[in-house]
Structure 1
Amino acid sequence: MRPSRIRTALAATALLPALLVACGGGSRDGNLLAQKLDWKDCPAPSEAQGGGNPPSPLPGGGTWQCATMEAPLDWSNPKGDTLGIALIRARASGDPGKRIGSLIFNFGGPGGSGVTSLPAFAGDYAKLRTRYDLVSFDPRGVGRSDPVKCKSNAQLDEYFQQDATPDNSAERAQLVNRTKQFNAACEKNSGRTLPHVRTTDAARDMDLMRQVLGDSKLHYFGISYGTELGGVYAHLFPKHVGRAVFDGVVDPTKDPEQSALGQAKGFQLALDNFADDCTSKIEECPIGDTSQDVKNRIAKLLKDLDKKPIPGIFPRQLTQTDATNGIAQSLYSKDFWEYLTAGLEEAYDGDGKILMLLSDSMNGRNQNGEYSNIIPANIAINCADEKPRYTVDDIQRKLPTFRAASPLFGDFLAWGMLSCTNWAVPGAADHPEVSAPGAAPILVVGNTGDPATPYEGARRMVDALGKGVGVELTYKGQGHGAYDSKDKCVQNAVNAYLLDGKVPTAGAVCS
């Protein structure tokens, strides 16, 4: 299963429980712009959102509120069938006279539940809440918004343990067959939704959301895939863009192959940095004597697991695929490097629990064995967006290039490009259209050590948005995204723009 631009919010909360859900009602009179949102206390999250408990009260005793907004199922037929878009908000905490409006968040994926993620990160956005209602949502196909469903929890356990990096013709045939079966299950269980989960559909939902919330402009904070969604919105509705921030930026100029290759390089860079960090410390690195030794031992572990898995979380075994997935998950944030070190130590001793826990988090599995729908939604949105369809022969031709980019992640990301094989819906385009002439300035934040959305994507997003729109800010750091790194320079620049409209100098650097 390819990580392809996946799991922003999930990655940043790898070892945290999921938190919440949406509820409420909309207008049934056919005039969706006139609907009144029925905000209520948020119930416990649905399984598709990740399960768990309702969100904790806000500081000062405020509560999270949830509602459901009706949107057209098919935006080409806006008076036809509708679906519900789950929303969550925290009302602005400051002087009502200084309130700017709503600040809408998308934490990425595609496939991540914003209704779950916003409470998990709310502490990071306390200053922004002084002048904004903080709002997020489950995009269509995600969480409580008509979620894409493919297989049962037990079937997903088996599916995620398949060999995702086949070494011979039999393994290749098995991977293709299981991919076809998975995609057929998605069509069987969610055929109504699959044609209508493109990023352009979600962007149109956001413009309806803006109007229903009573805002003349869309104030927006997009992270990872959320930057692509924000760019598509800006292209469709340039005059409606208010103050917007893109963090952890998807390169909008790349097709799926180029994106996967960029991720291979990005994750390899993050692994190199992890290994350098471990072996450069005063105390002894427990997983290798040198940076290259660390990477050699990881490569040997994965090779051994391909032949013989080790015990993971009973009754499942830690496979090569699980271990690779878990390692990738831990590279999304420097905060998780200690878990990767501990997981490798245990795995070298024959215990795969920590690496499997990390892999489970990447796949949206909780400790009760229940899966959120982040992976089915991720595949559905990517396959509806992305026109190319790759074959086994295509992948085999491209493997040398991917292996050169990353000896450890190259095969994994290359074979992941098969995920849209026999998908029920054709893809829309080779890459998203984000040109937005006439839009207000958009602050584009790139992280030089980002594994999932490599730094170069920020500059390309700025160029693609068009002259006078994108304003680039560089963060010299590690992990996916910049604002949630807690770097004061980044946070001050973002806060100054969103709260006071102060646009940073183009090309500014935080280190």
Structure 2
Amino acid sequence: MTLGLAPSTVLSRRSPRLLAVVGALVVALLAGCGLGGADDDGGTSSSTLSPSQLAAPQGFETYYTQTVTWKKCGDGFVCGTFRAPVSWQDASSGSISLAAKVHRATGTRIGSLLINPGGPGGSGIDLVDSAPSMLGKSVLDAYDVVGFDPRGVGQSTEVTCLDDAEKDRQLSTWYPETAVGLAAMEKDAKQWADACVKNTGDLLGHVDTQSVARDMDMMRAVLGQAKLDYLGYSYGTQIGSTYAALFPSHVGRMVLDGAIDPTLSSDETSVQQAVGFENALRDYVKDCETGSSCPLSGGVDAGMAQIKRLFDETKVRPLPTSDADRPLTATLAFYGVAVTLYSQSSWSYLTAALSQAIDKGDGTILLNLADQYNDRNSDGSFSTNSSEAFRAVGCLDDPGSSDLATMTKLADQVESEAPTVGSFFSYGGVGCKPWPYPQVKQEGDVHAKGAAPIVIVGTTNDPATPYAWAQGLAKALDSAVLVTYEGEGHTAYRRDNTCIADLVDDYLVDGKVPAEGSTCS
């Protein structure tokens, strides 16, 4: 899985939490096994399951029976650390730390709900901070909501690669689709990979999605749960479906929102995601041209041509910004546009950014939006390692085609199907070509035969995870129930839509499975 690895672009599948940042920028666990009372330090977790419920892999029993000490880390929150093996294939491989933060149940507790925001590279710890506003009251009452940083990410033992300055340069660079440009991209990809090896060590070969799913099964056991209850967004749906494939009998109540189709290759997902962003951008242009402040005119096709002209011009001559040392490159221009397409509520910010860029020749707002997408701070540092984790996970899961002839053919296809944004989704295999670890063999049954009902939520005009992927995942999983949100944006649960929210909340809290074919708008 190397979704969106373009010549100069790593486009990850972001969670809804990012959208609030964009707006601000421009204007116990089982009875007797809990996390402790409100007035103590947080308590501990250690499994009280029977051996059959524990289901620990041979040689890894100590991980499944470990004790986690929880400390208060905010009003209603506790924090702790799990230990996991570097490799789930080698019990002697050493251990890593998995950081977690829990929003404790506010009512009568029924269990723990693990959550993941997407990425790869998204922080579950950051996501759980938003639990009080992100989840329904009934869910908050019933569950200890457990956010964790997956292996390789954030506060867990992380993937570390380039220094900030070199990372910034590579994430900002547009590599022309020429022999010279591709050679420069290959050179930078090799530098990135070498830095990851040097600064991360053996963990770099074990941050694949299957390893994360195995970590979650270990967490399930330590938290005292015979079944895993889980809510995953975007790439978090891939973690969830992988878990179901590996541990179908351990699946509890699982909701996958903004789904990824596990039957597609990395090359196929890149093409389809490009089309998703193209379609979302067309809908934006159509809406924009009905307003008085829109810098686009002449109909949707003409408006799309204006945006493409902006991209093409920045490929040759980056736009100046308020930071004299940081012009707006084509790569950064695309990031700035793409991030606003994750939610219709962000379209007004895109209008402001395009107005400034097209009418005034100033790329400042688009640059600021791109920085938010890349988690870049104003001093040039980065607040997360999401770009490093994204590439590391993708190159292990599915590195994509690195053969030049194949990549060129795919580039022609994607630019034909997504003429405005397609060039930003081409030649992704170059990023993984120098990766020192091979693609991880996929285990488990993609159909997850025997799993409890799994609710799939798909949005009809989702740019990052197209609706067809939700349909594909629902078809692949034997026990899937597809719920459709007819609308714009990436993911749907609690996006000001009570219909979707009620269906998901009722399932998570009461086990009420939505009717097959349920549709909300």
TM-score norm. by structure 1 comes to 0.89
Aligned counterpart for 2:512 among listed residues 494, 497, 502: 502
Match of 1:238 in 2: 248
What is the aligned partner in structure 2 of residue 310 from structure 1? 319
1:113–1:142 contact (8 Å) kept in structure 2: yes
1:213 pairs, out of 197, 219, 223, with 223
Say which SS state the counterpart of residue 71 (structure 1) adopts: strand
Equivalent position to 1:338, from 339, 348, 355: 348
Checking the alignment, whether the CA contact within 8 Å between 1:5 and 1:250 is kept in structure 2 is no
Contact 1:14-1:329 at 8 Å conserved across structures: no
Which moved further from structure 2: 354-363 or 225-234? 354-363
Partner residue, 2:425: 413
Once structures 1 and 2 are overlaid, which stretch shifts more, 285-294 or 359-368?
Answer: 285-294
Deviates more, 1:86-95 or 1:304-313: 304-313
Asked if 1:86 is matched to 2:99, the reply is yes
In structure 2, the partner of 1:46 is none
Residues 163 and 26 of structure 1, relative CA distance in 2, 3 Å threshold: farther
Per the alignment, residue 438 of structure 2 pairs with: 426
Aligned partner of 2:366: which letter?
A: L
Residues of 1 paired with 2:444 and 2:370: CA distance?
A: 29
* 1:392 aligns with one of 383, 404, 410: 404
Per the TM alignment, residue 7 of structure 1 is displaced from its structure 2 partner at its CA by: 2.3
* Letter aligned with residue 362 of structure 1: Y
Matched, 1:326 2:336: yes
Asked if residue 355 in structure 1 is aligned to residue 366 in structure 2, the reply is: yes
Residue 292 of structure 1 and its aligned partner are, at CA, apart by 2.2
Query: Contact conserved, 2:16 with 2:491, CA < 8 A, in 1?
Result: no
Match of 1:110 among 103, 120, 129: 120
Contact 1:104 1:135 in 2 (8 A): yes
* Closer, same or farther: CA 288–251 of 1 in aligned 2, 3 Å: same
Question: Which secondary structure state, in structure 1, belongs to the residue aligned with residue 91 of structure 2?
Answer: coil
What amino acid does structure 2 have at the position aligned with 1:41?
K
1:41 equivalent among 67, 72, 75: 72
Once the two structures are superposed, what CA deviation does each residue of 1:118-145 show, in whole Å capped at 9, x if it has no partner? 2135312142111001111000000011
| Partner amino acid, structure 1, of 2:63 | L
Letter of the 1:323 counterpart: A
The answer to whether the Cα contact below 8 Å between 1:446 and 1:475 also exists between their aligned partners in 2 is yes
On the 8 A contact 1:151/1:186 being kept in 2, the answer is: yes
Distance 1:410 1:431, change over 3 A: farther
Deviation of 1:313 (Å): 5.2
Match of 1:69 among 82, 89, 92: 82
RMSD, aligned CA: 2.3
Report the Cα offset of residue 10 of structure 1: 5.8
Aligned 8 A contact 1:386 1:429 in 2: no
Aligned pairs for 1:167-186 (under 5 A) are: 167-186=177-196
> Identity of paired residues, percent?
38
1:276 to 286, 307, 314: 286
1:134 is the counterpart of 2:131: no
Matches for 1:153-302 after TM superposition, within 5 Å:
153-164=164-175, 166-281=176-291, 283=292, 285-302=294-311
What whole-Å deviation, never above 9, does each CA across 1:236-255 have from its counterpart, x for those lacking one?
Answer: 11111111101000011100
Letter of the 2:199 counterpart: N
Deviates more, 1:170-179 or 1:120-129: 120-129
1:150 corresponds to which of 158, 161, 164: 161
Corresponding residue to 2:14 among 7, 24, 33: 7
**Residues 1:74 and 1:347: Cα distance change in structure 2 (over 3 Å):** same
Write the distance in 1 (CA, Å) between the matches of 2:235 and 2:81. Answer: 23
Distance 1:187 1:80, change over 3 A: closer
Stretch of structure 1 that moved more, 452-461 or 155-164: 155-164
Secondary structure at 2:416's aligned position in 1?
Answer: helix
| Conservation of the 8 A alpha-carbon contact between 1:252 and 1:431 | no
Secondary structure in structure 2 of the residue aligned to 1:193: helix
Letter in 2 for 1:290: G
Corresponding residue SS for 2:172: coil
Q: What is the CA distance between 1:433 and its match in structure 2?
A: 5.3
Looking at structure 1, the residues matched to 272 and 157 of structure 2 have their Cα atoms a distance apart, in angstroms, of: 32
Q: CA deviation at 1:297?
A: 1.2
Q: What is the number of equivalent residue pairs in this alignment?
A: 481
Look up the equivalent residue of 1:434 and give its one-letter code: V
SS at match of 2:460: strand
Secondary structure of residue in 2 paired with 1:426: coil
Structure 1 residue 161 displacement after superposition:
1.8
Q: Secondary structure at the match of 1:220?
A: strand
How far does residue 191 in structure 1 lie from its aligned partner after superposition? Answer: 2.6
CA–CA distance in structure 1, aligned partners of residues 310 and 151 of structure 2:
39
Q: Alpha carbons of 1:432 and 1:362: their partners in 2 closer, same or farther (altered >3 Å)?
A: farther
Q: What SS does structure 2 have at the residue aligned with 1:157?
A: helix
Deviations along 1:210-235, one digit per CA (max 9) or x if unpaired, are 11111121100011111111011011
Residue aligned with 1:192, SS: helix
Point out where structure 2 has 5 or more consecutive residues left out of the alignment. Answer: 26-41, 47-59
Letter in 1 for 2:116: N
Structure 1 residue 414: deviation in Å?
1.3
